[in-house]
Chain A
Amino acid sequence: MNLEKLTKMANEIAAFFDADPDRAAALDGFAGHLRRFWEPRMRKELVALVDGGGGGDLLPLVRQAFVERRAQILP
């Protein structure tokens, strides 16, 4: 899938949840959203991008969630 687009989408989702002052809730919100609404191939490809050292444009919340909420995000 188009990684640039997935990056933009992930960042927009993160920008919403980032407003939550409770960081754990923000991470859960973001990870839960991806799990509930993203088709698995979208999630896998974006996580793979970060695993491969890419994804420099992703917001910190996204990157943090990919580490700390990994099991929740990947099927």
Chain B
Amino acid sequence: MYSIHERDPGTPIRISTKRVSLTIDGVTVNVPEGTSVMRAATQAGVNVPKLCATDSLEAFGSCRLCLVQIEGRRGFPASCTTLVEPGMKVTTQSPKLATLRRGVMELYISDHPLDCLTCPANGNCELQEMAGVVGLREVRYGYAGENHLEAPKDESNPYFSFDATKCIVCSRCVRACEEVQGTFALTVLGRGFDSKISPGGTDFLSSECVSCGACVQACPTSTLMEKSIEERGQPDHVVATTCAYCGVGCSFRAEMKGNEVVRMVPDKQGGANHGHSCVKGRFAWGYATHPDRITTPMIRARITDPWREVSWEEAFAYTASELRRIQGTYGAASIGAITSSRCTNEETYLVQKLVRAVFGNNNVDTCARVCHSPTGYGLKTTLGESAGTQDFDSVEHADVIVVIGANPTDAHPVFASRMKKRLREGAGLVVIDPRQTDLVRQPHVEAAYHLQLVPGTNVAVINALAHVIVTEGMLREEYIRARCDLVEYEKWKAFIALPENSPEALEATTGVPAAQIRGAARLYGQAKNGAIYYGLGVTEHSQGSTMVMGIANLAMATGNIGRPGVGVNPLRGQNNVQGSCDMGSFPHELPGYRHVSDPAVRALFGAAWGVEIQPEPGLRIPNMFDAALDGSFKGLYVQGEDIAQSDPDTHHVLRALSSMECVIVQDLFLVETAKYAHVFFPGATFLEKDGTFTNAERRINRVRKVMPPRAGLADWEITVRLGQAMGVDMPYAHPSEIMDEIAALTPTFHGVSYDKLERLGSIQWPCNDAAPEGTPVMHAEQFVRGKGRFVITRYVPTTERTNRDYPLILTTGRILSQYNVGAQTRRTANVTWHPEDVLEIHPHDAEFRGVADGDLVAVTSRAGETVLRAEITERVQPGVVYTTFHHPESGANVVTTENSDWATNCPEYKVTAVQVRRTTERSVWQREFDATAHAQADLLPGGPRPSGEAAE
């Protein structure tokens, strides 16, 4: 069911410059061409009764409740499927229409249980409402006839139920699954009276359903119903906010009862999601009230000591004195901080301000280090701005879509639905991925080319693609001459045309047949609009930055930047990874990507903060670990990031953490890093604070507080109070004041304010005097850096090589239902879909090792060993194994190495040489992990938390 108090004009909005005038019940309306009579009627203030129509779906015309009369036409056309015409005269109400509609309703109701008073949809049910609207007073057929009132209820999905007795077979759910989500999990079985809705002949959980919730939202009755509504009843108010999981940044309406969330419904007004969602944002919010939440500050002198619960005052005083003591002993540069891409812009900004203005150094970094830092470097170098070039809507204009090292159906599901829609409309698709992701073959979607390369050879593939563009005459010379630096261009062109970059020469390296590369290059190179989307499969390599620049080269060479339908689009991982980078979280950049070596920028911030900003870059996260091990880095403030689980080479990270004297963790739970911490600041969930997130399309969205912070303080308040305890006042009454400061100091945010966000809903930066309402597509007239810069991208293979001892390549990725380290999703019913991380292995490799499906296997690399369960599948090619890293005890990062991107030190998660063998027991590391987990749980006040991991 739709969110409460939301309008539903019945059919989708149409955009057209041509307008049509008509009269409806005597009122003249003027609407875009292609609009339905039903939607036009709402402009005249008339809501035509309807059941099978809803504005997220194309009209279907099956229920016959929306009949109207049109002057000069015979019969009673359905207003949902009838389009407006100039001069049309429509009547929506007459005695005849009323009788017809009552007849329709009567039929529906005669096969519907009359338990409205106890039905969970009571108060928000379209069937109930329509019965009232048409004035249904009796059901002449009686309820004794043949009916569906005995159909069993399907409770298999953890978040919603399917009660077929209430189904009116309007097929809104089926169409939502097809049109909005693109999964095609539902069908109408049978015909006529016998027809019924089925998730492919099985129950919902065993079906293809990905639990996005689109069908539940589209259902006009309580047939498909959120279990949270069944349990808690209908909400009483709504607060608009933004999902805190992935970089799509879906807008939601948090439906509330007092301080309790009853349901999260995707917001139709959301600029990123237009009313769609995935299983995480829609359903996996129960972690916010999970009993594992820690809600009192804690301190301890050593990590082997029991935690002591203290007041906030004591926690701040202790922490401040420790940090100042460390700086006194080891120097000003011996402490630093890590900002979180899960926190708001305002919070991130404050942490880097704390480091620069209070710690007095530039030792601040963020988790983007381990995901999209090469995007920042690569796009800034070539195009001039560290961000994606398009908005999501742009995909609707793409003719060819190239997806590189990204798995959007799992990691960016709502955007993937948009992309699949465009692909179903006929856009061409190239997938460059070592693994057969779902996108390669889907219902009604199939990649024209799947370049299944050997992991680690991205740059070779992009060079080969560019080689074909250059040597087969597909360069857009005119575009290049007008927009790019020609000296660099000529150098690049000469380099890329070298025979060593040809697909044939590189075939042995990449494992991709040359003909496929040539075909894919022609498809992209000749497209009117070619768009590239990429993910961590591009960045998390030792040549991540080179690859990003290779992508930008290719897009510039083919003229595919600067208008809708094209572009270079990084699919950002975390909800606010774009924002955390924008806010100056890197050790070399102040907010707005301005280098600390620039005296004018330093002077600006220095004057605003009343301090002198250090002119040299600070330590990056991996440098912090190294400096900790050599004894020159001793104190670290970590806001909402679990480096002990998420960063590569766990052994190394844990040694570094253990060698520090004051590790401060600010988080919701006792995460892995907290086990090595001396101070724990209990953080707030996104439901407990105000602020903004910036998504992958640079869209700044509001996050709104719907309940008070459980521990009493929002995260930004914690940073302010810590600064205060260290002697520096940062007096803000509300996050909007922090945004005002950001806007005053950062040209790309100059026009942003909470008032404007309130007015516009969201804003895509740059937002300034030249673009007061923001910028959906960047580099329109010219590149931000002036002339676009081609960069020579020689393929330098990783030093991580397979050999006899480590003959397989391990690569890592994500899954739809879990989010990153899983601290949140593991504490929800999403574990139903992914209770553990498994190792995907090709049948050949498995057979050779005597491994059967479901066996325990040891995965050993030069860095370490862990044990996982094997899943035999042809999704991976021979020689490649694959796993996810959502569960800490899986220890995926025990195995990954310290190799990293040459430019940014982004870890090479995607390529690790390993051996795999059958085993019967967990690894040494895993047993140590269990022991540490138990020991640390015992050190909590009151001992281990009562619950297991899953709740809600």
B630 CB within 8 Å of chain A:
yes
Report the stretch among A38-46, A49-57, A61-69 that lies at the interface.
A38-46
Pair B491/A39 contact, Cβ less than 8 Å: no
Q: How far is the CA of A69 from the CA of B314 in the complex (A)?
A: 50
Q: Contacts A12-B902, A16-B903, A75-B616 hold; do A2 and B630 have CB atoms under 8 A apart? A: yes
Name the A residues within 8 Å of B618 (CB-CB): 39
Name the A residues within 8 Å of B595 (CB-CB): 36
Q: How far is the CA of A19 from the CA of B549 in the complex (A)?
A: 14
Pair A36/B617 contact, Cβ less than 8 Å: yes
Min CB distance A13 to B, Å, is 5
Report the stretch among B36-44, B290-298, B621-629 that lies at the interface.
B621-629
Q: How far is the CA of A20 from the CA of B492 in the complex (A)?
A: 9
Can you list, as one digit per residue, whether each of B595-622 has a CB less than 8 Å from chain A (1) or not (0)? 1010000000000000000011111100
Q: Name A12's contact: one of B616, B792, B796 (CB within 8 Å).
A: B796
Name the B residues within 8 Å of A75 (CB-CB): 615-616
Pair A19/B903 contact, Cβ less than 8 Å: no
For residue B794, which residue of chain A has the nearest CB? A19
Q: How far is the CA of A40 from the CA of B620 in the complex (A)?
A: 12
Pair B587/A39 contact, Cβ less than 8 Å: yes
CB under 8 Å from chain B, chain A span 1-19: 1-2, 5, 8-9, 12-13, 15-16, 18-19
Q: How far is the CA of A13 from the CA of B793 in the complex (A)?
A: 12
Pair A16/B902 contact, Cβ less than 8 Å: yes
Pair A41/B632 contact, Cβ less than 8 Å: yes
B495 CB within 8 Å of chain A:
yes
B588 CB within 8 Å of chain A:
yes
Q: How far is the CA of A27 from the CA of B905 in the complex (A)?
A: 20
Pair B623/A39 contact, Cβ less than 8 Å: yes
Pair B794/A37 contact, Cβ less than 8 Å: no
Name the B residues within 8 Å of A36 (CB-CB): 588, 595, 597, 617
Q: Contacts A9-B905, A12-B902, A38-B617 hold; do A19 and B627 have CB atoms under 8 A apart? A: no
Pair B902/A13 contact, Cβ less than 8 Å: yes
Pair B630/A1 contact, Cβ less than 8 Å: yes
Pair A33/B630 contact, Cβ less than 8 Å: no
Contact residues of A: prevailing secondary structure: helix
B542 CB within 8 Å of chain A:
yes
For residue B902, which residue of chain A has the nearest CB? A12
Pair B619/A39 contact, Cβ less than 8 Å: yes
Can you list, as one digit per residue, whether each of B484-518 has a CB less than 8 Å from chain A (1) or not (0)? 00000001000100000000000000000000000
For residue A6, which residue of chain B has the nearest CB? B626
Name the B residues within 8 Å of A42 (CB-CB): 623
Name the A residues within 8 Å of B619 (CB-CB): 39
Min CB distance B669 to A, Å, is 32
For residue B629, which residue of chain A has the nearest CB? A2
Pair B617/A2 contact, Cβ less than 8 Å: no
- Please count the residue pairs between chain A and chain B whose beta carbons lie under 8 angstroms apart in the complex: 66
Pair A1/B627 contact, Cβ less than 8 Å: yes
Name the B residues within 8 Å of A41 (CB-CB): 333, 627, 632
Pair B626/A5 contact, Cβ less than 8 Å: yes
Min CB distance A38 to B, Å, is 7
Min CB distance A10 to B, Å, is 10
For residue B624, which residue of chain A has the nearest CB? A39
Pair A19/B623 contact, Cβ less than 8 Å: no
Pair B794/A16 contact, Cβ less than 8 Å: yes
Q: Contacts A12-B542, A20-B792 hold; do A37 and B902 have CB atoms under 8 A apart? A: no
Pair B902/A9 contact, Cβ less than 8 Å: yes
Min CB distance B456 to A, Å, is 14
Min CB distance A16 to B, Å, is 6
Q: How far is the CA of A15 from the CA of B902 in the complex (A)?
A: 9
Q: How far is the CA of A11 from the CA of B904 in the complex (A)?
A: 14
B348 CB within 8 Å of chain A:
no
Name the A residues within 8 Å of B629 (CB-CB): 2
B546 CB within 8 Å of chain A:
yes
For residue B899, which residue of chain A has the nearest CB? A8
For residue B627, which residue of chain A has the nearest CB? A1
Q: How far is the CA of A5 from the CA of B597 in the complex (A)?
A: 25
Can you list, as one digit per residue, whether each of B578-589 has a CB less than 8 Å from chain A (1) or not (0)? 000000000110
Name the B residues within 8 Å of A37 (CB-CB): 588, 617, 620, 903-904
Name the A residues within 8 Å of B792 (CB-CB): 19-20
Q: How far is the CA of A9 from the CA of B902 in the complex (A)?
A: 6
Pair B495/A19 contact, Cβ less than 8 Å: yes
Q: Name B597's contact: one of A9, A18, A21, A35 (CB within 8 Å).
A: A35
For residue B377, which residue of chain A has the nearest CB? A37
Q: How far is the CA of A28 from the CA of B607 in the complex (A)?
A: 32
Q: How far is the CA of A21 from the CA of B359 in the complex (A)?
A: 43
Min CB distance B94 to A, Å, is 75
Q: Contacts A2-B630, A40-B616 hold; do A33 and B491 have CB atoms under 8 A apart? A: no
Min CB distance A45 to B, Å, is 9
For residue A38, which residue of chain B has the nearest CB? B617
Name the A residues within 8 Å of B902 (CB-CB): 9, 12-13, 15-16
Q: How far is the CA of A18 from the CA of B623 in the complex (A)?
A: 24
For residue A13, which residue of chain B has the nearest CB? B902
CB under 8 Å from chain A, chain B span 784-803: 792-794, 796, 799
Q: Contacts A13-B902, A36-B595 hold; do A21 and B630 have CB atoms under 8 A apart? A: no
Min CB distance B856 to A, Å, is 34
Pair B491/A21 contact, Cβ less than 8 Å: yes
Min CB distance B727 to A, Å, is 25
Q: How far is the CA of A37 from the CA of B623 in the complex (A)?
A: 11
Q: How far is the CA of A33 from the CA of B4 in the complex (A)?
A: 54
Min CB distance B495 to A, Å, is 7
Min CB distance A49 to B, Å, is 14
Name the A residues within 8 Å of B905 (CB-CB): 9
CB under 8 Å from chain A, chain B span 555-600: 587-588, 595, 597
Q: Name A39's contact: one of B597, B616, B904 (CB within 8 Å).
A: B616
Pair A16/B796 contact, Cβ less than 8 Å: yes
Name the A residues within 8 Å of B546 (CB-CB): 16
Name the B residues within 8 Å of A39 (CB-CB): 333, 362-363, 587, 616-620, 623
For residue A22, which residue of chain B has the nearest CB? B491
Min CB distance B703 to A, Å, is 32
Q: How far is the CA of A21 from the CA of B420 in the complex (A)?
A: 43
For residue B587, which residue of chain A has the nearest CB? A39
Can you list, as one digit per residue, whether each of B658-691 has a CB less than 8 Å from chain A (1) or not (0)? 0000000000000000000000000000000000
Q: How far is the CA of A40 from the CA of B597 in the complex (A)?
A: 12
Q: How far is the CA of A37 from the CA of B588 in the complex (A)?
A: 6
Pair B903/A33 contact, Cβ less than 8 Å: yes
Q: How far is the CA of A15 from the CA of B795 in the complex (A)?
A: 10
Min CB distance A15 to B, Å, is 5
Of A9, A15, A19, A40, chain B has the most CB atoms within 10 Å of the CB of A19
Name the A residues within 8 Å of B630 (CB-CB): 1-2
Pair A2/B626 contact, Cβ less than 8 Å: yes
CB under 8 Å from chain A, chain B span 102-160: none
Min CB distance B791 to A, Å, is 9
CB under 8 Å from chain B, chain A span 23-37: 33, 35-37
Min CB distance B670 to A, Å, is 30
Name the B residues within 8 Å of A38 (CB-CB): 617
Name the A residues within 8 Å of B620 (CB-CB): 37, 39
A-B contact pairs, 29 of them (CB 8 A): A1-B627, A1-B632, A2-B630, A5-B626, A8-B799, A9-B900, A9-B902, A12-B542, A12-B902, A13-B903, A15-B794, A18-B794, A19-B495, A19-B793, A20-B491, A33-B903, A36-B595, A36-B597, A36-B617, A37-B617, A37-B903, A39-B362, A39-B617, A39-B619, A39-B620, A41-B333, A41-B627, A75-B615, A75-B616
Closest 6 CB pairs of A and B: A19-B794, A12-B902, A19-B792, A15-B796, A39-B619, A40-B616
Known A2-B629, A39-B620, A42-B623; further 10 A-B contacts with Cβ < 8 A: A1-B627, A12-B542, A13-B902, A16-B794, A19-B495, A36-B617, A37-B620, A39-B617, A39-B618, A41-B627
